[in-house]
Amino acid sequence: MAGPLDGLRVVEISHESCAWAGKLLADLGADTIVVEPPGGSWQRQTGPWLDDEPGPERSLWWWYYNTNKQSVVLDLNDAAGRQRFVQLIGEADILLDGERPGRLAELGLDHDDLVADNPRLIHASITPYGRTGPSKDLPATDLTVLAGGGPAWSCGYDDHSLPPIRGGGNQAFHIASHWAVQAVLVALFHRDVTGEGQFIDVSMHAGANVTTELATYGYLSVGEEVQRQTGRHASWVRSMPTQVECADGRFLNTGVLPRTPKQFAAMVAWIDELGLRDEFPLTFLLDEGASRERFDFSQLDEDPMLAEILRAARDVSAFLCERLPAYDVFVGWQRRGMSAGAVYAPDEALADPHVVARGFPTEVSHPEFDRTATYPGAPYQFSATPWAIQRRAPLLGEHQSLVDR
Amino acid sequence: MGAMNQSPPAPEPGYGNVSRHPGPLSGIRICDLSGQLAGAGATRVLAAFGAQVIRIEDPVTKGLWDIVRQLPPYLNGDRSHDGGAGFNNHNVEKLGITIDLRQERGKDLLRQLVKVSDAVTENFAAGVMERLGFGYEQLRDLKADIVYVSNSGFGHSGPYRDFKSWGPIAQAVSGLTWASGLPDKEPAGWGYSYMDHTGGYLMAIGLLAALWHRKRTGEGQWVDMSCSEAAIALNGPALLDATVNGRTMRRPGQPDSNHSEAPAMAPHGIYPCADEDSWAAIACRDDDDWRALAAVVDEPWADPALSLTARKADEEALDKQVAGWTSRRPRDEVVALVRRAGVPCSPVLRPAERCDTDSDNQAWGLFPTVTHTRHGEVRVDGLPVHLSASDWHMGRGGPMLGEHNDRVLSEVLGLTADEISSLRDEKVI
């Protein structure tokens, strides 16, 4: 079965800032051609490496971000290369690029040049600050974008002598690519009615700015600035920790603590199942919570016992974490109707039994190396037009026949 | 009902798509049962491009299926279900109606609405919509080509399908929380619900892609998005290092997310500046960047001849030297000096700076002002894309509870005033 974007032709000028956008489109079935310079994309020079040995076909970065794509090599600095690029664009629906502002215009390959031959072309350009803003010519990386765009201000530790933190995983590129793909799909609907393509300016900096939740809408609405806190929401009001270390050294995000008598009853039953009734000194408070008909939170001031009961819920969470591995607390807590999550490393997440049962880990064949590799799978499951990795990332110039005609 | 006092634009024939500005998605109607930030964040994008997004809310609980309606911070101190600032931010340009789905007449009303909608969106935990009678298969019987998009923490199948989640849980169980932090410290995590944003983006992509397929083929379908799986996919290269090379990610020295191993860069970090809690991020991508930075620093330790390997070999010591240099200068001086040398550098901007003074955000028009029916003008998040021929538009704030009942029921479903008041008398709406 083909994906929902089957029949669309995407051309991507290989760049780390738009590679994820190309992968999202390609994994949904768009026929995606990645244009590499002679010698190959920068991404091929980037680790991690298969068996730790560098090489243009061994970059795991390249492998991941370029699934389902076809590779052609074109020298855009050369007139013949540009001519073949224009021919390629003539049959394309979508062009993705991450070139610095001005570069494509210098080559005569910007949107205005290309629409002459293909007025239906939808061209999305991802740049650090957009094509026209005051900072458009500044160099940037994932780190500097997340620092200037807001996410880093909210991430870090209670101890403010420690720096704000960049969240790992190239998220500035991901944010921009998510926006590029949304905009490209919107532009398809526009084209369907009007017949015209268009140019889409995507700013990584703006993308980071609107991916900051309370930091932005809290300031815009009440003028308060959030302050970073360890492992939980940044806030202008200091909140209780939600990250607790468990018996195996892993952490648990405690989520929402028990708040109803039914949840207290479930907690008591669990303590009894574990044979820990006598070891937890506040079991009597859990019993008291379980025996109540309801909790009236508006009476907290007049009902000191209720405050004690709620404190016991926090204590029991810490008590269980001291005795059990994070996974057991996570699943035990959730099976009893309360939210919580083990703080997995990404590879632990990929091996979780639920994720495996849903078929999320995806085997991709790499025949050149006589092996398969396990990739993260579908971010979304389409019932009629499934997401799929049909083909590993291309070898350099593997599909050159698409342009050598 | 303040909105009723404004004269609506002329209806677009054939769509009943009233009270909308025209946009590239004007022909699309979404019956939106989603909420919180993850669901609302997806449909807000479609609404900004002209889709008619009709939020279905519960009159009995005053819309508090979506707790964001009444979560702080509040607009003008309004602590009611119409005061949540996050709700307003994430529901601009949408219509809001109330339907009591416990009542048969309420269910019937929703069925009528589904029949004239292109898509249904929801982000309840698995099983909730089925119990209400509005799961995908139930609605497919009603409207064969419906596009139905679900966004939940763990997806609608598998052993954890009933587990509860919100952003921080999805981030914890996917590895995003763990992958954000300093070596040998507990994870710093994201400091907000990054996956509510990102889950919303991917939900919008899934919705638009499914609508595109339906437009071409007439075929509807169900898109089941698991927010935690979507989050796992956001650490690809490091995950392949684990699955291909067998390199366990939980090992001494990890995570170390202010540094950069792949691609290898140094110095690469967020460094303290002279004023309290002021920081600058600096990234030397290559030897050229290092030589340029060393020239600016002009201190004995900053040897322009140091190779990347040498800089990486004792990165902690290098960081201390860089931090020593930055901490003796005001942040903006550090940034100006390093930027002038052509090296990637940025201040860690505070919310007030981003929202009020950042020249790029101002030039972009990133925080537009919308009009909330009760609260008047409020600034909100705009979109980080500009489309040359069919750009986004945000004018109207999030809907008040049941604000558009009359309008939607009369103009979309063709109900008479008498029928609507009967629904109101029976507390169906």
- Domain architecture of chain B: domains with CATH: 2-232+364-425 (3.40.50.10540), 279-347 (no CATH)
Region B164-179: what's the mean pLDDT? Answer: 96
Q: Are residues A187 and A278 in the same domain?
A: no
Interface contact flag, A330 B173, Cβ < 8 Å: yes
Q: Are residues A101 and A159 in the same domain?
A: yes
What pLDDT, on a 0 to 100 scale, did the predictor assign at position B1? Answer: 31
What pLDDT, on a 0 to 100 scale, did the predictor assign at position A204? Answer: 98
CA B274, distance to chain mean position in Å, is: 34
CA B332, distance to chain mean position in Å, is: 30
C-alpha distance from A39 to closest chain B C-alpha (Å)? 18
What is the DSSP track for B303-327? -TT--HHHHHHTHHHHHHHHHHHHH
Interface contact flag, B343 A176, Cβ < 8 Å: no
pLDDT tens digits for range B106-140: 999 999 999 999 999 999 888 899 999 999 999 99
B229 vs A155, A226, A379: nearest CB? A379
Q: Which of A46, A68, A173, A185 to mutate to test the interface with B (most CBs of B within 10 A)?
A: A185
* Model confidence band, residue A1 (pLDDT cutoffs 50, 70, 90): confident
C-alpha distance from A361 to closest chain B C-alpha (Å)? 10
Q: Which of A319, A343, A367 is the last residue of a domain?
A: A343
User: Which helix H or strand E contains B2, and what residues bound it?
Assistant: none
CB A89 within 8 A of CB A117: yes
% pLDDT > 70, chain A: 100
B257 vs A167, A206, A220: nearest CB? A167
Q: Are residues A89 and A202 in the same domain?
A: yes
Q: Is residue A223 in a domain?
A: no
Q: Are residues A129 and A92 in the same domain?
A: yes
User: What's the CA dihedral at B118, B122, B128, B133 to 10 degrees?
Assistant: -10
What pLDDT, on a 0 to 100 scale, did the predictor assign at position A90? Answer: 96
Q: Tell me, what DSSP letter sits at residue A225?
A: -
Burial class (CB in 10 A: 0-12, 13-18, 19+), A402: middle
A253 vs B177, B198, B346: nearest CB? B177
Interface contact flag, B389 A196, Cβ < 8 Å: yes
Region A329-358: what's the mean pLDDT? Answer: 96
Q: B237 CB contacts (<8 Å, ≥6 apart)? A: A47, A48, A60, A61, A64, A65, A170, B262
Q: B411 CB contacts (<8 Å, ≥6 apart)? A: B11, B16, B18, B19
Interface contact flag, A346 B239, Cβ < 8 Å: yes
CA distance linking residue A296 with residue A291, whole number of Å:
14
What pLDDT, on a 0 to 100 scale, did the predictor assign at position B14? Answer: 33
A171 vs B208, B234, B280: nearest CB? B234
Q: Are residues A332 and A368 in the same domain?
A: no
Residue of B nearest to A255 (CA): B169
HSE on the CB side for A130, CA within 13 Å?
A: 27
Region A33-53: what's the mean pLDDT? Answer: 97
Interface contact flag, A343 B177, Cβ < 8 Å: yes
Region B331-358: what's the mean pLDDT? Answer: 98
Q: Is residue A95 in a domain?
A: yes
Structure tokens at A362: 């995806």
Structure tokens at A281: 């000194």
Enumerate the residues of chain A whose CB falls inside 8 A of the CB of residue B162: 334
Q: Are residues A203 and A287 in the same domain?
A: no
Q: Is residue A246 in a domain?
A: no
What pLDDT, on a 0 to 100 scale, did the predictor assign at position B22? Answer: 80
Q: Is residue A176 in a domain?
A: yes
What pLDDT, on a 0 to 100 scale, did the predictor assign at position B16? Answer: 38
Residue A57: closest CA among A294, A322, A397? A397
What pLDDT, on a 0 to 100 scale, did the predictor assign at position B120? Answer: 98
Of the listed ranges A293-297, A328-332, B308-312, B357-361, the least confidently predicted one is A293-297
Residue of B nearest to A230 (CA): B188
CA distance linking residue A74 with residue A16, whole number of Å:
17
Q: How many CB pairs under 8 A join A and B?
A: 535
Q: Are residues A392 and A329 in the same domain?
A: no
Give me chain A's average pLDDT, please.
96
Output the pTM of the full model. Answer: 0.96
Interface contact flag, B243 A374, Cβ < 8 Å: yes
Q: Is residue A218 in a domain?
A: no
Q: Is residue A117 in a domain?
A: yes
Interface contact flag, B243 A183, Cβ < 8 Å: no
Enumerate the residues of chain A whose CB falls inside 8 A of the CB of residue B352: 219, 223, 225
C-alpha distance from B161 to closest chain A C-alpha (Å)? 9
Residue for token digits 């979508």?
Answer: A94
* Model confidence band, residue A302 (pLDDT cutoffs 50, 70, 90): confident
Give the range of the structural domain holding residue A273, as residue numbers without chain letter.
Answer: 251-343
Q: Is residue A238 in a domain?
A: no
CATH code: domain of residue A53: 3.40.50.10540
Residue of A nearest to B193 (CA): A213
Q: Are residues A326 and A375 in the same domain?
A: no
What pLDDT, on a 0 to 100 scale, did the predictor assign at position B6? Answer: 39
Interface contact flag, B86 A214, Cβ < 8 Å: yes
Residue of B nearest to A182 (CA): B205
CB B68 within 8 A of CB B50: no
CA distance linking residue B36 with residue B42, whole number of Å:
11
Active site residues of A: 233
User: Which helix H or strand E contains B122, and what residues bound it?
Assistant: strand B119-122
Q: Are residues A290 and A325 in the same domain?
A: yes
Enumerate the residues of chain B whose CB falls inside 8 A of the CB of residue A4: 209-210, 212-213
A179 vs B230, B258, B384: nearest CB? B384
Enumerate the residues of chain A whose CB falls inside 8 A of the CB of residue B236: 64-65, 169, 375-376
pLDDT tens digits for range A373-389: 999 999 999 999 999 99
Name the domain count of chain A: 2
pLDDT tens digits for range A69-119: 999 999 999 999 999 999 999 999 999 999 999 999 999 999 999 999 999
C-alpha distance from A404 to closest chain B C-alpha (Å)? 31
Residue of B nearest to A150 (CA): B349
* Model confidence band, residue B15 (pLDDT cutoffs 50, 70, 90): very low
What pLDDT, on a 0 to 100 scale, did the predictor assign at position B126? Answer: 85
What pLDDT, on a 0 to 100 scale, did the predictor assign at position B21? Answer: 63
- ipTM of this model? 0.97
CB A287 within 8 A of CB A309: no
What pLDDT, on a 0 to 100 scale, did the predictor assign at position B7? Answer: 40
B37 vs A52, A174, A213: nearest CB? A213
C-alpha distance from B373 to closest chain A C-alpha (Å)? 15
Structure tokens at A207: 């993308």
Length of chain A (residues): 405
Residue B20 pLDDT greater than 80, yes or no: no
What pLDDT, on a 0 to 100 scale, did the predictor assign at position B383? Answer: 98
Interface contact flag, A347 B248, Cβ < 8 Å: yes
Residue of A nearest to B209 (CA): A4
Residue for token digits 């009233």?
Answer: B18
Q: Is residue A77 in a domain?
A: yes
Q: Are residues A322 and A366 in the same domain?
A: no
C-alpha distance from A267 to closest chain B C-alpha (Å)? 16
Q: Are residues A66 and A184 in the same domain?
A: yes
- In three-state secondary structure terms, B1 is coil
CA distance linking residue B5 with residue A181, whole number of Å:
38
Alpha helices, H only, B104-166: 104-115, 128-132, 136-142
CA distance linking residue A55 with residue B146, whole number of Å:
47
Q: Are residues A368 and A335 in the same domain?
A: no
